[in-house]
Amino acid sequence: MSCGVIVMPDKRLLLHICCAPDATIPVEDLQAEGWQVAGFFYGSNIQPEEEYRLRLDALHILAGHTSLPVEEAPYAPEGWLDHMARLELLEEPEGGRRCTACFELQLRAAAESAVRLGCPYLCTSLTISPHKDVGRINAIGESIAKAHGLTWRPRIWRKRDGFLRSLRRSRELGLYRQNYCGCAPSQRGTAE
């Protein structure tokens, strides 16, 4: 897959997609602004696999509606769990250091995808959530983008009712919407 060839190369942007509902507004707004958008879905933080499949199916629906090319990382939840276990982060509360490590894994994989696909700009849908620390996410994104020779687009999608708009758009498109962030600890704990 490539980002396409029609728009000027400096408008090619890779959007890290945490889930389809959260990506609705970022994808449509970026496309309306003239960005040539490709999506990247990591997914190995999501458990169990049935839940991952539901979220992936929702992403395919969104991609079909928006003509969005999407790269999907191979589903490897053991790798994600091993990484968090090695760092002794599995018992961390949601929103703590495990989430920082999770954002890093996801955004690093997205940056590698952007380099492969020749997209000079990197962004994420994560900042549409009212539950997430957008300052931390944008700082991590900035640092990872820089290390990969990319430019980070520090958007805060939840501004201007972004989250409410994403709920509305998800309903219109009939997208599956989860009730927890993704990992097994988050399923046991706080609802997203």
Binding stretches for ligand SF4 (CB under 6 A) = 45, 94, 98-99, 102, 181-183, 186
Q: Measured from the CB of residue 20, what is the shortest distance to ligand SF4 in angstroms?
A: 15
Q: 48 Cβ partners below 8 Å, 6+ apart?
A: 184
Q: Measured from the CB of residue 9, what is the shortest distance to ligand SF4 in angstroms?
A: 32
Q: Measured from the CB of residue 54, what is the shortest distance to ligand SF4 in angstroms?
A: 15
Q: How many CB atoms lie within 10 A of CB 190?
A: 13
Comparing CB distances to ligand SF4, the nearer of 13 and 46 is 46
Comparing CB distances to ligand SF4, the nearer of 45 and 66 is 45
Is residue 129 within 8 Å of 158, Cβ to Cβ?
A: yes
Instruction: Report CA-CA distances (Å) from 153 to 81, 86, 103.
Output: 29, 31, 16
Q: Measured from the CB of residue 99, what is the shortest distance to ligand SF4 in angstroms?
A: 3
With H, G, I as helix, E, B as strand and everything else as coil, classify residue 5.
coil
Comparing CB distances to ligand SF4, the nearer of 5 and 188 is 188
Which DSSP symbol is given to 96?
Answer: S
Q: Measured from the CB of residue 102, what is the shortest distance to ligand SF4 in angstroms?
A: 3
Q: Which residue has the tokens 């458990």?
A: 47
Comparing CB distances to ligand SF4, the nearer of 18 and 111 is 18
Q: Tell me whether residue 175 is exposed, middle or buried, using C-beta atoms within 10 angstroms of its C-beta: 0 to 12, 13 to 18, 19 or more.
A: buried
Comparing CB distances to ligand SF4, the nearer of 35 and 41 is 41
Tokens of 104: 């890093």
